[in-house]
Amino acid sequence: MWSSDLQNVGVRRDKTMIIHKVLAYGTMDDIHWLVGEYGKKKVKDSFLNNPMNLYTRSALSFAKNIILGLDSTEVDESKYVKTLY
């Protein structure tokens, strides 16, 4: 991934990290790859069940509501939104 040595990233082993980093920082092409690789259900499940603190508020809103269609699902923003402090 962007902050990892790609030689050491495993598509299966590092699924949660890959899903969150692509949702938070990826392009639309990256997101299409993500859904093709894991399937939308697995992406949603990983997003909801294994939160990672690396989103901006706007990236979280876009990923959750637009990409994943979870606009009626509440999430604890403190588990997703990174702070600079």
- Does a structural domain hold residue 56? yes
How far apart (Å, rounded) are the C-alpha atoms in residues 36 and 76?
A: 27
How far apart (Å, rounded) are the C-alpha atoms in residues 9 and 17?
A: 9
How far apart (Å, rounded) are the C-alpha atoms in residues 33 and 78?
A: 27
| 75 conformational bin, left if phi > 0, alpha if psi -120 to 50, beta if neither | beta
- Does a structural domain hold residue 50? yes
Q: pLDDT tens digits for 20-77?
A: 999 999 999 999 999 999 999 999 999 999 999 999 999 999 999 999 999 999 999 9
Whole-structure pTM value: 0.85
Nearest 10 degrees: Cα torsion 10, 12, 75, 81: 0
Provide the number of structural domains found in the chain: 1
The parent domain of residue 59 ranges over 6-79
- Does a structural domain hold residue 54? yes
- Does a structural domain hold residue 85? no
- Does a structural domain hold residue 41? yes
- Does a structural domain hold residue 22? yes
- Does a structural domain hold residue 74? yes
